Structure 1
């Protein structure tokens, strides 16, 4: 079995009056992400981690923010396409560990919904997806509520490989 790991990170500025999407779900908040797509930092970090683990560059290479094709796109579509890309290379997803850094709103109660959404797209069990949320204790751009960041690590594998 061939096992590979990857790491991904995404950051977006927050602005009033925009929708906030995290982990594939809409989060009620007065601010949302300024982005070419819907700005779902968690999904973008997971896409980068999966693509990196498979040796397939990054999300911007596959889904450039200079393309009108991806303007305003639902990030769940990007995640589905990413899963298709890595599966075409023979990889399956073992597990995902991730964290969202944001001062407000508190996300703890939304994590099970995010896990279910992501599991449905990724085709893995909800228990294989860890989503954590943390504040930065009012430090940095996240703490000042100017932006949000997300980090993800993944394990992918090819069965039958040495």
Structure 2
């Protein structure tokens, strides 16, 4: 069995008026929020999927199904902590994360350090090991029309 494993996660959510906008474990001021069963934090969901995939543990929907009311409006930081526990039970720890958010608005650069801190605390890694980038789609597609948001994450795991 390899000591290093890589996983890729992706998540999408619709943006709607009247919802809080949780991103990277923090509340970001915006007139729209992501719609979902949980708090719909696309960044944390993509990271969770990447972690689970790297450890061959399925995906976020396997462990936290949207058909289970226990996860209704759940804080995705809790899901991230539970994913860390699941990979830990298989003997893995996160080495680093590289992620990209795809959204038209708002600009997230001012919030990145706080997102890195929240994620680092949950995964017990350094903020230096967490890359969070953002891009627009140049007003093309559902992201460009501000109808939705998406995130990609790659996670490298190492046997502890």
Output the TM-score relative to the length of structure 2.
0.98
Please give the secondary structure, in 1, of the residue aligned with 2:88: helix
**d(CA) in 2 for partners of 1:158, 1:118:** 20
Counting matched residue pairs gives 159
Encode CA deviations 1:89-144: one digit per residue, 9 max, x unaligned.
Answer: 00011000001100000111111111011101110000000000111110111100
**d(CA) in 1 for partners of 2:77, 2:45:** 9
Q: Give the aligned partner of residue 12 of structure 1.
A: 13
**d(CA) in 1 for partners of 2:121, 2:71:** 22
Q: Give the aligned partner of residue 119 of structure 2.
A: 118
Q: Does 1:98 align with 2:109?
A: no
**d(CA) in 1 for partners of 2:146, 2:38:** 20
Please give the secondary structure, in 1, of the residue aligned with 2:9: strand
Please list, as runs of the form range in 1=range in 2, the aligned pairs for 1:23-62 lying within 5 A after superposition. 23-62=24-63
Output the TM-score relative to the length of structure 1.
0.97
Q: Give the aligned partner of residue 64 of structure 1.
A: 65
**d(CA) in 1 for partners of 2:23, 2:135:** 14
List, as ranges, runs of 4+ consecutive aligned residues in structure 1 with deviation greater than 4 Å. Answer: none
Q: Pairwise CA RMSD of aligned residues?
A: 0.7
Please give the secondary structure, in 2, of the residue aligned with 1:37: coil
**d(CA) in 2 for partners of 1:91, 1:117:** 20
**d(CA) in 1 for partners of 2:25, 2:135:** 18
Structure 2: unaligned runs, 5 residues or longer: none
Please give the secondary structure, in 2, of the residue aligned with 1:4: strand
* CA positional deviation for 1:21: 0.3
Please give the secondary structure, in 2, of the residue aligned with 1:72: coil
**d(CA) in 2 for partners of 1:147, 1:125:** 30
Structure 1: unaligned runs, 5 residues or longer: none
